Chain A
Amino acid sequence: MITPERLTDFHKDILKEIGNIGAGHAATALSELVNKSIDMNVPSVKLAPFHEVTELLGGEDTVVAATFLRVTGEAPGNMYFILTIEEAVSYIRQLTGDESIDENRFFDCEMTRSALQETGNILAGSYLSSFSDFTGLKLSPSVPYLTIDMAAAVLSFGLVEMSQVSDYAIIIDTQLKESDGLQNGIDGHFLLLPDPDSFEKIFHSLGVPINE
């Protein structure tokens, strides 16, 4: 099995390419939703001890709006689309044109939550379908689950599978950004956390040798 300790630079590059292709498709989907151009940064593959994972998002106490999908199929794993609460508000305002929306609306208004959850679903769905096309692996996402809570509480859940084999997480992180660089813009993270056994299947599907 490929554990985080055994991942080579070449393997990391392959995983980056998955992030690149996946998030590229997701950026296009988001761009169509908000009718604006969306950029993405170069994906990074992070090998981090669990307590550092949350620093990707600004710290353990940062409040985030996270859409979570459990991926099943030939390379199971966990997928998140994460916005900070401020970004989520800004995004929903753009999507609906309703400037009166604030943070509290996510807690009292089912429609607002649903709009955000559906966005996560569309974006993660396009990420996963390109991941599946690229590798030829059959993957199917669960229904999306939205939660708004502390970053550490949200993310630790996605680490459960990996925590059974290692104290490190392998995270493929890609960030989307609005091209006009406005303040309060959307700046979302896609995090893909394949299950420990999935790495071998991903590399195998692409003809990448497991041992150097």
Chain B
Amino acid sequence: MNKTIETIQVKISDYQLAKSPQLLKTTGLGSCIGVVVYEPTAKVAGMAHVMLPSSKLTRGTPFNLAKYADTAIPAMVDEMVQTFHINKGNLQAKMAGGAQMFQFTGKSEALRVGPRNTDAVKEVLKTLNIQIVAEDVGGQNGRTIEFNTDNGELMIRTIHKGMTTI
């Protein structure tokens, strides 16, 4: 049983799908959010690394759907349903990230992007009727996350606080 388990890397502004026993990983989440949507019985999952809350912020066209919470998550879920032929109703979600890397005292909205991303992801998941079963959001620290499609565990590594699993 020494078979190497394949790890699929998710880049910034990107999403990827995986099925058991593959792992999904994204590194260095700061104000960005890593969202995992998975189907626990079929053992399939998608992970998105979103950078901004809303595609309404875009000033360029065409834009990358995977960059924004409001476009990345629906696109990823659609692709999961098509690829794995699963029922949308059984999907669950876990999320991590949305930190405020620098403690600003100012009120600039742009600098509060972490909390805004968190709110946007929750809103989108709510609209899609996907329940968030676990989350590790906010704070001031970066996170590297790895999702195990086999047991549905999301491992979170930080510099300051070590590893946790949710």
Contact = CB atoms under 8 A, between A and B. Distances in A.
A156 B64 contact: no
Interface residues of A, number: 34
Interface stretch (A89-97, A123-131, A162-170): A162-170
Q: Bin the interface of chain B by size.
A: 35 or more
A74 interface: no
B106 A156 contact: no
A147 B59 CA distance: 30
B142 A150 contact: yes
B4 to A, nearest CB: 20
A21 interface: no
Contacts of A149: 30, 101, 141-142, 159-160
Given A51-B11, A164-B52, A153 B101 contact: yes
A187 to B, nearest CB: 20
B58 interface: yes
A200 interface: no
Contacts of B110: 160-161
Interface of A: 1, 3, 50-51, 54, 60-61, 63, 68, 70, 107, 142-143, 145, 147-157, 159-161, 163-167, 196
10 closest Cβ pairs, A-B complex: A152-B28, A153-B142, A153-B30, A145-B102, A150-B142, A51-B11, A60-B27, A149-B142, A60-B28, A150-B28
